[in-house]
Amino acid sequence: MTQASGIANEQTSTPLSSSKSITLRISRYNPEHDDSSKFMEFSVPYERWTTVLEAILEVKKHFDHSVAVRYSCRQATCGSCGMIINGKPRLACFTKISELNSNVVTVEPMNNFPIIRDLAVKFERLFDTHQKIKPYLIRDDTELTSDEKEFLQSPEEVEQYIQFANCIKCGLCNSACPTMATDSSFVGPQALAQAYRYVADSRDKGKDSRLKIIDDSHGIWRCHFAGSCSQVCPKGVDPAMGIQLLRGYLLGFRS
Amino acid sequence: MRESTIMKIHYGTALAAVALVAVHILMRLTQGFAESLEYESVLANYKFIPYAIMLELILILLSVHGFNGLRVILLELKQGRLYEKAVSYGCLAAMIALIAYGSRTIIMTNMGMV
Amino acid sequence: MPQDENKEGIGGMINPRRYGIERVAYLLMRLSGLGLLAYFIGHIYETSTILRGQVGWNEFLELTQTTEGHAILAIVIAMCVFHTVNGIRVMLGHGGVGVGKPARPDYPYDPASQNYRHKIGIYSAIVLAAVAMMYGLAVMFGE
């Protein structure tokens, strides 16, 4: 365990003047040569608006540049910086240290995703399952002719799916899901919510083929409506709702 | 069988079992709990054909529901083609065995073979 | 479990502390289901002793009509009531009943599916299970 209590004496573009500081515990693990993960602790100053991602970047800048973390937009749009923060899956850029109400902030890689290194995880399976449910409009008339107009939708029709179109594929829902904790073959809440997004779209004609894909022994029926996915979603997608509405089609409650 | 069909059976057996088990429990309570468990009382229950049919239905419904529930939990715990087949067929075999064993009690007692 | 999959495992699946009462209900539903299946198998065996005649039946009945036997039966009653009430709630949810309607989400993005109707359903299941267990205890030990 490494203890670093002071800030290294180097030039920084963001001077740290805060008197408040937290202990940031970062999980370190390199599958290529480590047997298990270990935590490194850093004392990081913070302001009311400092996010966990900013704290991690401070560590990279001043203490240990080898900490692996994936990030991009820093505004909860790209879905890159999902991680376990104080035991719960959250976006590091969307979580302020001040709102955690703790002097110790522990960051770990997301559960149920293979670790690349430290806080960076592999997204291949999430993208594979996402692709599996055909995340695009399916129509018989795929070839548009030059005189054709766009597909019109009423605001009510848009309302049916727009919530689910907010998904940024951050993977937090898959990380929180109790079925994903043990079932490597489960499609997962992200993909199931996206299946509903397209099934509920009035322009789409691929309902039957999608329902067939998810009506599998590791498909939609392995969701038990625990709702953890919806509780951690940073974009208000509410995958649990989408999954139950989608299941309504298979149970004959919806057509 | 498609998973949706299996799960529809799962829900159906649950709802039907709730109604029948409620009757089964009420029978214990209306007779008085201790009295209802006396040998003669239980024997009379088994010999009353509508009640014996109800017990058989409860046996089938709960076995199907229970072992499918177990299958679901086991499928989620571990994956693999061989394991999943073993779980599915194992649960089916256990379900059939339990129904056969319970049916034996109901039929033999009903027919006075005690 | 292989480290490279980084799955939470059974410990993560059964951990009820992080995600509210819904996750507690999920755990209790599983435990009560397994408990009821175990009891059901035991009950089928127990009732089969009637084939051994009055002596066989009474011998086995003596084993179950004890303080421990009554306590186990009281737990079974609680599991049965919880599994039934929560099962109906989950079944309705699975059909899309009471999970809310899709709408443009507003910050702080409270999920509509995790609404008070389902929370009331879960608390009702727990309370009814406790009441039924008390009633069962009163019936069994009152005699």
C116 touches chain A (CB under 8 A): no
What is the domain count for chain C? 1
Whole-model pTM? Answer: 0.92
| Per-residue confidence (pLDDT) for residue C84, from 0 to 100 | 98
CATH number, position B30: 1.20.1300.10
Q: Domain range for residue C131?
A: 3-99+110-142
| Per-residue confidence (pLDDT) for residue A15, from 0 to 100 | 53
Q: How far apart are CA B66 and CA C39, in angstroms?
A: 11
User: Residue ranges of the domains in chain A?
Assistant: 3-121, 124-251
Alpha carbon separation from A57 to A67, A104, B23 (Å, rounded): 9, 17, 65
User: In chain B, which among 48-107 make CB contacts under 8 A with chain A?
Assistant: 72, 75-79, 84
pLDDT digits (tens, 9 = 90+) for A194-224: 999 999 999 999 999 999 999 999 999 999 9
Who contacts A232 (Cβ-Cβ below 8 Å, separation ≥6)? Answer: A88, A89, A90, A172, A173, A175, A176, C19
Q: Is residue C110 pLDDT above 60, yes or no?
A: yes
Cβ atoms of A29 and A36 within 8 Å: the answer is yes
Q: Any bridge partners for residue A45, and if so which?
A: A21
Q: Which of A124, A226, B1, A141 is nearest to C18 (CA)?
A: A226
CATH number, position C59: 1.20.1300.10
What is the domain count for chain B? 1
For the segment C12-24, the average pLDDT, to the nearest whole number, is 95
C56 touches chain A (CB under 8 A): no
In a domain, C23, yes or no: yes
C141 touches chain A (CB under 8 A): no
Cβ atoms of C65 and C141 within 8 Å: the answer is no
Count how many pairs of residues, chain A against chain C, have C-beta atoms within 8 Å: 143
Best residue in B11, B75, B83, B84 for a mutation probing chain A (most A CBs within 10 Å) = B75
Check CB contact under 8 Å for A215 and B4. Answer: yes
In a domain, C104, yes or no: no
Fold held by A3-121? Ubiquitin-like (UB roll) (3.10.20)
**Which stretches of chain B drop beneath a pLDDT of 50?**
none
For the segment C5-31, the average pLDDT, to the nearest whole number, is 95
Fold held by A124-251? Fumarate Reductase Iron-sulfur Protein; Chain B, domain 2 (1.10.1060)
For the segment A240-244, the average pLDDT, to the nearest whole number, is 98
Percentage of chain C lying above the pLDDT 70 cut: 97
Cβ atoms of C114 and A230 within 8 Å: the answer is yes
